[in-house]
């Protein structure tokens, strides 16, 4: 993102599309820092927190959720027009979210299976990331993102510098923390080798395998990890499922699934 400093007290909007609302909690769970944040920025639009002003232009817009209805597809265009920096927050906004699994299935049949009156349900056949609809200036990854990501991004913009993006693999951070590898020692199907860091190595620190809620890191070798998972005893279906979670529309993971399905 090319950066010119935002004003001293920039205007901010938080928008929601198809999601679980969990990434907005990165704001609402700030505790007393939330009061401090409102001194640093002017939050004009944030429905869940109270302020509603959809139409005024803002300097920074945070967007949660993926696009899964006609209304959302139109609304995101309006958000883009009104926003100087558009920052997506979370796996839904950056990679479609878990609801994008419907893209590979017959959505009409699913609606009919769940809803007694499927004719009342109006949605698009796909749930898609924001960047497929409008230009995005910065993507914050995670399912969910955490408060640190929000605060460091806003702080960087206030200082007029480019926000730092974690792109390293979780695996590397895990080693640096001196954590014993759960894949090597316990044969767990850990996604750490292909996953973007930023969570604080949550899962290995809980003695479990990473399930890649932060999505792909840079330059990942998904084929090599897939092979490793198979050598640990996972079936091809199991391996594909590992990539088909909260970041299933990330190109690296979608390609990994195709690769597994085509392999003999």
Partner 1 sequence: MSEQQRDLTIEVPVLARVEGEGGLSLEVKNGQITQLQLRIFEPPRFFEKFLEGRSYQEVPDIVARICGICPVAYQMSAVHALESIFGVKITPWIRAMRRLLYCGEWLESHNLHIHLLAAPDFLGYRSATEMAAQYGEEVKRGLALQHIGNDIIRMLGGRSVHPVGVKVGGFYKAPSLADVEALKQKIRAAIPQAEALVRWTASLGLPDDHQEFVCVSTHHAQEYPFNEGDLISSDGLNIPIAEYEQHFKEFHAAHSTALHSHLHDKPYLVGPLARVNLNYAQLPAPVRLNLERTNVQFPSNNMFHSLVARAVEVHFALLEALQILDNYHVPDSPYVPVTPRAGTGYGCTEAPRGMLWHTWTTNEQGEVVSTRIVPPTSQNQPRIEEDLKLSLEAMGLDHSDDILRLRAETVIRNYDPCISCATHFLKLNVNRA
- Of 41, 28, 34, the C-alpha closest to 89 is 28
Decide if residue 74 touches partner 1 (CB under 8 A): no
Q: How far is the CB of 143 from partner 1 (least distance, A)?
A: 7
- Considering beta carbons, is residue 226 or 247 the nearer one to partner 1? 247
Using the 8-state DSSP alphabet, how is residue 190 labeled?
A: -
Interacting stretch for partner 1, rule CB under 8 A, among 80-88, 160-168, 197-205, 225-233?
Answer: 197-205
The set of residues, in sequence order, having a beta carbon less than 8 Å from that of 55 and lying 6+ positions away, is 82
| Among residues 40, 49, 151, 232, the one that binds partner 1 under rule CB under 8 A | 49
What's the rounded Cα separation, in Å, for the pair 95 and 227?
24
Sheet holding 138-140, edge to edge: 42-46, 11-16, 58-64, 83-89, 138-140
* Token output for 106: 């017959």
Decide if residue 192 touches partner 1 (CB under 8 A): no
Decide if residue 174 touches partner 1 (CB under 8 A): no
β-bridge mates for residue 16, sequence order: 64
Task: Tell me whether the omega of the peptide bond preceding residue 150 falls within 30 degrees of 0, making it cis.
Answer: no
- Considering beta carbons, is residue 21 or 218 the nearer one to partner 1? 21
- Considering beta carbons, is residue 57 or 118 the nearer one to partner 1? 118
How far from chain centre, in Å, is Cα 155?
Answer: 20
Q: How far is the CB of 74 from partner 1 (least distance, A)?
A: 14
β-bridge mates for residue 15, sequence order: 63
Residues that bind partner 1 (CB under 8 A): 16, 18-26, 28-29, 31-32, 34-35, 38, 43, 47-52, 54, 68-69, 72, 97-99, 101-102, 105, 107, 110-111, 113-117, 120-121, 123, 127, 143-144, 146, 199-200, 202-203, 205-208, 211, 213, 238, 241, 245-246
């Amino acid at each position: 993102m090319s950066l010119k400093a935002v004003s001293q007290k920039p205007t901010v909007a938080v928008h929601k599309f198809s999601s679980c609302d969990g990434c907005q909690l990165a704001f609402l769970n700030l505790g007393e820092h939330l009061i401090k944040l409102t001194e640093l920025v002017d939050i004009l639009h944030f429905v869940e927190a109270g302020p509603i002003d959809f139409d005024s232009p803002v300097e920074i817009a945070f967007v949660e959720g993926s696009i899964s209805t006609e209304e959302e597809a139109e609304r995101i265009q309006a958000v883009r027009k009104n926003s100087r920096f558009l920052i997506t927050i979370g796996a839904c906004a950056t990679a479609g979210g878990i609801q994008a699994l419907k893209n590979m299935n017959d959505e009409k049949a699913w609606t009919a299976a769940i809803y007694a009156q499927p004719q009342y349900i109006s949605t698009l056949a796909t749930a898609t990331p924001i960047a497929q609809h409008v230009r995005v200036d910065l993507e914050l990854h995670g399912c969910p993102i955490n408060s640190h990501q929000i605060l460091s991004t806003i702080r960087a913009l206030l200082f007029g510098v480019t926000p730092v993006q974690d792109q390293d693999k979780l695996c590397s951070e895990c080693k640096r923390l001196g954590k014993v590898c759960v894949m090597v020692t316990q044969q767990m199907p850990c996604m750490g080798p292909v996953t973007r860091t930023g969570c604080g190595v949550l899962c290995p620190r809980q003695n479990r395998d990473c399930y890649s809620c932060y999505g792909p890191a840079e330059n990942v070798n998904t084929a090599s990890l897939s092979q490793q998972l198979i050598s640990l005893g996972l079936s091809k279906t199991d391996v594909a499922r590992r990539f088909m979670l909260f970041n299933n529309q990330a190109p690296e993971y979608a390609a990994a699934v195709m690769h597994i399905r085509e392999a003999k």
